[in-house]
Structures are given as C-alpha cells and as structure tokens.
Amino acid sequence: METSNNNEPGTVLLAGIVGSTAYGLAGPDSDVDRLGVFAAPTLSLLGLDAPAPSRVTVQPDVTMHEAGKAARLLLSANPTVTELLWLPTELYERRTPLGAELVEIRSAFLSAKRVRDAYLGYAHQQLRKLLRGNRAAKPARHFKRLLDQGLALYTTGSLTVPLADPQSYLDFGKRVAADPEQAGSVLADAQTTFDRTRSALPVEPDRDRVQDWLLRVRNAFWVSNS
C-alpha cells in the first residue's frame, strides 16, 4: 500500500491488517483482511460524480473508507473500523502524518453509550447467525470477542486488539457452535455487566477534535495531486 496505483481509491492515509490475523485467531486457511482510510480530492466530493465513500475488494480482502465516512463510522463506535486505530505498530502497512494523527485522536471518537450499543449490537448479529442454524465456530468466537473487547473498551477507554488467550475463544467457538442456545446466557451476562459497570468513556465524543482533523484533511487534499 505504500505505492499508489490506478486501483487505489485516493490517497491512503492509514491502513493495516485487521480481523482474525490481528486477534490471533487466524488459521492456515484464513483470509488476511486489510482495512484503511483514504482521502479523496476535496473538490471531487463537491461535484455530481463524487467518488464512492467506500471501496471493497476480495482476493485480496481490502476495505477502504473515505475519510469522511471513516470519521462517521468511528463516531458510531463501529467495532471493525475502531480497531484500525488500536492496532499494534507492526500491523500498520501505511501511516501518513494525517493517518498518525487519526490514531493519536482515537479517544475523541469514543462515547459510553455508542460503544455499549455498537459492540452489543454486533454481538447480537453474530448470535443471530448462530441461531439461524449456521453452526460454525467463527461467528461464535467473534460473538465472544466482541463482548469482551467492547466491555474492556467501555470500562477502561482502551482497546487491545490482539487477544490475550486466543485459544479460549477458539474453544468457545467450537463449544457454542455445537450448542448455540448457550450463547444467550453469555449475552445476558454481558448486558448485565455493562449495566452495572461505570464507564471510563465520556457521555459524548469530542466532535470538535474530529472535525478539526477532517477539515485539515480536506484542506490538504483540496485539489488532486495528479
């Protein structure tokens, strides 16, 4: 991702390896998921044919969000996009100065209710996959991961992407895939813990700080460099 080419959606500000590889859950057949934030030329956003706010490719599996959309997803505490700002240094494949600033202000995007709602909501999605009869270990282990990471972020204000004990999530996935009904009690316990835990996060995100970053991106990319 260091070299620009015609397939890139714009100037990549920040990109890294996310998903199972980052969590420590990847197996020999797992795909390597990459996620990034790019800046489109500002003037191109104002015309009739504005660039797509996201670009997704498979083989390789890469998702890129334009800076404005990335900021909105981060403010909503989208778990997948949030983890991009909390990766270990070695998992970043592209980090420009504006991308590094995005990582530096990562706490500005956080708020207690949105973190709680987003992580519980995404865990619910994984649970629905299980209960629809998809007895696969992957949604089961990601169900547990979302609950644990979400609660840690809610409680401490910090997100650790690599899991401390990946094997326990792999074991949980196998166990719950065989009996999905037991996941319901895990979710209920997590909801109770959220309700009883005092959050380290503010009531509202720091939108002014986020806005300042985004406007500096818009100023830096007012016109295309091409």
Task: Examine residue 86 and state whether it is found in any structural domain, yes or no.
Answer: yes
| Nearest-angstrom CA–CA distance, 88 and 201 | 22
The verdict on 65 and 176 lying in the same domain is: no
The domain in which residue 144 lies consists of: 112-196
Give the three-state DSSP class for 16. strand
Q: What is the CATH number of the domain that holds 215?
A: 3.30.460
The verdict on 103 and 134 lying in the same domain is: no
Strands 61-66 and 54-57: antiparallel
The verdict on 23 and 82 lying in the same domain is: yes
- The reported pTM is 0.92
Say which residues have a Cβ less than 8 Å from residue 56's Cβ, sequence separation at least 6: 62, 63, 64
Number of folded domains that form the chain: 2
List the pLDDT tens digit at each of the 226 positions of the chain.
333 333 455 799 999 999 999 999 998 888 999 999 999 999 999 988 899 999 999 989 999 999 999 999 999 999 999 999 999 999 999 999 999 999 999 999 999 999 999 999 999 998 888 888 666 888 999 999 999 999 999 999 999 999 999 999 999 999 998 888 889 999 999 999 999 999 999 999 999 999 999 999 999 999 755 4
The verdict on 15 and 106 lying in the same domain is: yes
The residues pairing with 34 across neighbouring beta strands, listed in sequence order, are: 17, 62
Task: Examine residue 2 and state whether it is found in any structural domain, yes or no.
Answer: no
Task: Examine residue 173 and state whether it is found in any structural domain, yes or no.
Answer: yes
